[in-house]
Structure formats: C-alpha cells, structure tokens
Amino acid sequence: MTRALIKAWPALAATAFALAIWQAIVTLSGVPRFILPAPALVAETWWTNRWVIAEHAWITAVEVFLGLGIGALVGVATAIQLATSRYARLLVQPVLVFTQALPVFALAPILTLWLGFGLSSKVLMCVLIVYFPVAASFLDGLLRTPPGYLDLARTMQARPGQVLWRIRVPAALPSLASGLRLAAVYAPIGAVIGEWVGASRGLGYLMLLANGRSKTDLMFAALLTLGVFSVLLHLGVRALTRRMVREEV
C-alpha cells in the first residue's frame, strides 16, 4: 500500500496542483458558477447528489460491462474464425474495415431508432466500438505465430485444431491484451454517446440534463464520476490482462 502511494504521489500532487489552479482562477476571476464552477462547489454538489449520480452511474456501468463483455467475446470469436480460414479473411476483412470507416457516433441515432431508448441501444454502441480493436489486434497476433513453433508442430504431425489452441492462441494473448486495454478506454465513450442521443438514465443523460438546466456543477460532478469510472475500468482490465501477458514471459 505504501509502495503504491509512493508510486502514485507525483500523479496525486499534479492533481492537487491542478485543482488549486482551477479554484484560484474561479475565485480570482469571479466567473459565474454556470460557466465554470469551482472544484469545491463541484465536490459539494457531488456529495449532495451522490445517490442520484450513483444511480445513473450504475446504469452506465451496466451498459459498459455488457458492451465490453459481448464486444470482446464476439471480437475474439471473429479473430479465431478469420485466423483459421483464408477465405473468411478475404471475404470479411474488407467489410470489417469498411464498418470501422463509419464513425460509430453517426450510427447512434439509427441504433436508438431501431432499438429504442433503453439499455440495448447503448450496449450495442459499446459492442460496436469495442469489437474492432479486439478483433483486429487478436487476429494480428494469431497471424503472427513465431514460424519456428509452426515448423515444430509440422514435424510432429500436429492437428490444426490443437495447434490453434495450444500454440497460436496462447502466443497471441499479448496482442489480445492490448486490444482489450484499448477497448476498455473506448467502451464508456460508446455508452455515453448512446445516452446523449436518447436515454432517460445514465451519466450521459444526467450530463445533458444538468447542462440544459445550467447546473454546470452537476454536469462536472457527473463528468468526474465518468472519468473515475473509466480510469478504474482501464486499471481493472489492465490488471486482468497483465496476468495474460505475464504467462507469456
């Protein structure tokens, strides 16, 4: 714990410094609170609205976890499928790239139209945003198996299925890990965009609502919550995937 504290202190100090500057600017310039609320006010608003924020944060978290989970699973399945079939690669890869050329943001209104204002449209947004980095990086790893391993497998009259599960997939896990880390950063973005386009719950919705009523302090409080959530999610995924990578050492 103390070691973690020692490691984290520059970041903590920088944060404290930034907050101090922020507070000083607000106090000295006299900016109205609906333009830029002071950090102390944001903290106060956060505390008084903690249950409301928590409720909305919970919704966003559920969307993100579902989206991340489903997107990662589908991405992994796609990568394995494509890795084992040259035909599938020829057929699917261009489509895959094309879908990535479409900004997911542009799809949000359509998804909301199709799936409604509920959870599913946000989860699907997350899935779409998570899917590509996971599929692409894992596929890349699966296609870059060290050739020596494959030579060895060949001289052992290995079965392709066994080679896939015992050599190619484990050798590609570090690539999958980096895809998942990237996906964890993107996933909350997907959920929030979905909520902006049409929702009655979630942090994105709360931010829009607060903004519309000039409750800038509440907006900042929601934004901060989202930021903390995203950082925790990133750290969580990193901790999980670190084990995946460590096994490769």
Q: Which of 167, 185, 209, 224 binds another protein (CB under 8 A)?
A: 167
Among 127, 158, 5, 9, smallest CA distance to 63 is for: 127
Q: Which is nearer to another protein, 79 or 169 (CB)?
A: 169
Q: Which is nearer to another protein, 56 or 168 (CB)?
A: 168
By CB under 8 A, residue 30 contacts another protein: no
d(CA 112, CA 122): 8
By CB under 8 A, residue 154 contacts another protein: yes
Backbone angles phi, psi at 143, to 5 degrees: -90, -5
Q: Which is nearer to another protein, 28 or 249 (CB)?
A: 249
Please report how close the Cβ of residue 158 comes to another protein at its closest, in angstroms: 3
**Backbone dihedral region for residue 116 (phi beyond 0: left; psi -120 to 50: alpha; all else: beta):** left
Q: Which two tokens stand for residue 125?
A: 């947004």
Q: Are 179 and 136 in contact (CB under 8 A)?
A: yes
Q: Which is nearer to another protein, 61 or 83 (CB)?
A: 83
By CB under 8 A, residue 143 contacts another protein: no
Torsion of CA 205, 209, 214, 220, to 10 degrees: -30
Residues in the site for another protein, rule: CB under 8 A?
Answer: 146, 148-149, 151-159, 161-163, 166-167, 170-171, 173, 247-249
